[in-house]
Structure 1
Amino acid sequence: MAQIYKRGKKWRAQVRLKHQSRSGTFDSKIEAMAWAVEIEQELGKDDGIISGKTLGDAFARYAKEVSPSKKGYRWEIVRLNKLMRAPMADIALKELRVDDIQRWITHELTRVQASSVNRELNVIAVVLETARKRWKWIATNPSRDVERPRNPRPRDRRISELEIQRILDALEFNDGEAVKTQRQEIAVGFLLALETAMRQGEIWGLNWVDVHLRQRYITLNETKNGTSRNVPLSSRAVELLKMLKEQKDGVVFHHPQRSCGVLFRRALKIAGIRNMTFHDTRHEALTRLARKLDVLDLARMVGHRDPRSLMIYYNATATEIAERLG
């Protein structure tokens, strides 16, 4: 089993296995753990299953070799780093049991919601399956038999017109004027999300070559479900995009998504708005669009392969439905 410890500003890794010992010094803990994983693999082969690996070793190798190839790797790396700090990470893979994961679940449920636990369980499951199929570190995947907690009901947060205006005021946005600041650019992204139901990552990943203002649609080449789609634009959405500096090529939103997310959350505090996230714009937009489009067109526009999944986001109030009844 490898020993990883910090010495000054460097990380030291030492591997002892089968009467053999190797060591190395690295700039980061992940580099040290990844190196130790490779050395243990080299020294510990036994009947096709590589011994001497811990769950933490599996997290480290997955973070180095697999996660960077994924679109949403940044958040996966965050989760993997958190999981590497959990006591469960020190358990040898050959000794890891369902009960170990179940105890981790019970502990995490005292700190975070069931939905967060299930997202981390997804990471644990895929890491263990990779360790079983690709790396041959374990013979079975204990996560398959884990009893998962039940997710809470989907969020039904709506955004009122008053809240929209307060957010725009906090972002110093003047409707109809050319965008000059990062805050104003965020405001355009926020309003565009309400018009199109596009996700935050989809909006901040836009390139002008994929924006067709005359034909009134946007082409999304990379989406959450891995397929491309065309998003039709309302006249209001076209107006919003024209407030930005249109080019033949290049990114539509020039400021990084991460810093824009920080500024948006600050704007919510300035506006005195609680219990709201940028993703709530998708709920609001889908509910509004459902009044204008039939279910199949709506599903195609927002990228839902199964129209039934739209019910997760559609949150019309009873009063709004009653008004349509006349």
Structure 2
Amino acid sequence: MASFKKTATGWRADVFKKGIRRSKTFRAKREAVAWSNQIEYEIEQGHHDTGAAPPNATMYHILERYRDDVSPKKRGARWEVTRLNQMMRDPLLADVKLSDVGPRHFSAWRDKRLKEVSGSTVNREFNLLTHACKLAWREWQWLKEHPMAGVSRPPENKPRDRVITDAEIESYVETSGFSFKTPPATVLSRVGAMFLFASETAMRGGEICKMKKTDIDFNKRVVYIPETKTGVPRWVPLSTKAIKILNHVLDYTKGTPTVFCVTASQRDALSRKIMKKAGLEGINFHDTRRTALTRLSQKFGPMELAKISGHQDLKILQSVYYAPDPSDLVEKLE
């Protein structure tokens, strides 16, 4: 039995017959219908085995199955689906037959991507491809060997060391329209409030977007983060200013599912808009995390700081997220 679903790029056909599932996306619905009819006929004729790769399968089919069956179970599903859809449109990778795929194809893909994006981005996509190929090799048995074995990774980018100044924070907040004197009625102003809150707490943007009122203990002045990047929940202490921001925002957003009532995509797009309008260069929203941790390091030791930030590796905390001004270190000698 076939079903059809409209997607952002066309029509997706899903066929499930005799325990065998196949899916593919097409630009036009008529192409999806024709393909599903052909697949149903082939299944009836015994040309498909349960769990086996489709006839003449390519890397497209591995990426598609991973996108549909594996990615939805992850916290980073939105990012993965976007990247996988992009890879599935890249003929240098997607059109390679599984019977022929090998290290040379991934080396060519890597070199092409390095001309378009940074080494760190390529490495994140490399991780995604590696996991997809490993599943296709070990569990799905679509591949006879791991085709990415031996393919070298590009070097990582130099870690960012940008700390946002007080003047830049003030400019960002003012441009967003956020003020303690007026209700944060616009999404833009609440993004400004999030930026200010992140600069106080070192919380990630995604964590702030998901924060609910029930996660906050105003008596103990802490916020509980149940879902984190590392998978380990943590408590974050709240400064007097952070409490003030929350109270002011909640006066307007009370009754909404989340405290700031801003989605991750809204925060990302509007933050870029604010920075461009404010003329702020060389910074991004995530730099608030480094900024806050650098300031908090004046009050907390390394272990306490790691508890606040959620870092399990102190080397990452020290080399990437702690960027003190050398003059501040000199002052401590006096």
Confirm or deny: 8 A CA contact 1:195 1:236 kept in the other structure: yes
For 2:290, which of 273, 277, 283 is the aligned residue? 283
For 1:238, which of 235, 240, 243 is the aligned residue? 243
For 1:180, which of 150, 173, 185 is the aligned residue? 185
Residue 18 of structure 1 aligns with which residue? none
Q: Distance in 2 between matches of 1:25 and 1:96?
A: 22
1:69 deviation in Å? 1.5
Residue 205 of structure 1 aligns with which residue? 210
Residue 147 of structure 1 aligns with which residue? 152
1:52 deviation in Å? 2.7
> Residues 296-315 of structure 1: matches in 2 within 5 Å?
296-311=303-318, 312-315=320-323
Confirm or deny: 8 A CA contact 1:216 1:238 kept in the other structure: yes
Q: Distance in 2 between matches of 1:23 and 1:322?
A: 63
Q: Distance in 1 between matches of 2:307 and 2:218?
A: 19
Residue 279 of structure 2 aligns with which residue? 272
The residue identity in structure 1 corresponding to 2:126 is L
Q: Distance in 2 between matches of 1:93 and 1:309?
A: 38
- Secondary structure at 1:275 match in 2: coil
1:175 deviation in Å? 3.3
1:55 deviation in Å? 0.6
Change (3 A) 1:57 1:301: same
Q: Distance in 2 between matches of 1:287 and 1:63?
A: 38
Confirm or deny: 8 A CA contact 1:50 1:136 kept in the other structure: no
The residue identity in structure 2 corresponding to 1:62 is Y
Residue 68 of structure 1 aligns with which residue? 72
Q: Distance in 2 between matches of 1:73 and 1:249?
A: 24
1:78 deviation in Å? 0.9
- Secondary structure at 1:99 match in 2: helix
1:25 deviation in Å? 8.7
Runs of at least 5 residues in structure 2 that lack an aligned partner in the other structure = 1-8, 16-21
TM superposition score normalised by structure 1: 0.85
For 1:320, which of 324, 328, 334 is the aligned residue? 328
Q: Distance in 2 between matches of 1:269 and 1:157?
A: 17
The residue identity in structure 2 corresponding to 1:181 is T
Q: CA RMSD in A?
A: 3.2
Confirm or deny: 8 A CA contact 2:190 2:260 kept in the other structure: yes
Change (3 A) 1:167 1:10: closer
The residue identity in structure 1 corresponding to 2:324 is A
1:79 deviation in Å? 0.5
Q: Distance in 1 between matches of 2:148 and 2:25?
A: 33
The residue identity in structure 2 corresponding to 1:263 is L
Can you list the C-alpha shifts for 1:122-169, whole angstroms capped at 9, x where unaligned?
Answer: 111111112122321112112232100110111111111111111111
Q: Distance in 2 between matches of 1:108 and 1:10?
A: 25
Confirm or deny: 8 A CA contact 1:56 1:89 kept in the other structure: yes
1:183 deviation in Å? 2.0
- Aligned residue pairs total 309
Runs of at least 5 residues in structure 1 that lack an aligned partner in the other structure = 1-8, 16-21
- State, as a whole percentage, how many aligned pairs show the same letter: 35
Can you list the C-alpha shifts for 1:3-58, whole angstroms capped at 9, x where unaligned?
Answer: xxxxxx96598x9xxxxxx99996779x95x979x878973559x87763211111
> Residues 223-262 of structure 1: matches in 2 within 5 Å?
223-245=228-250, 247=254, 250-262=257-269
TM superposition score normalised by structure 2: 0.83
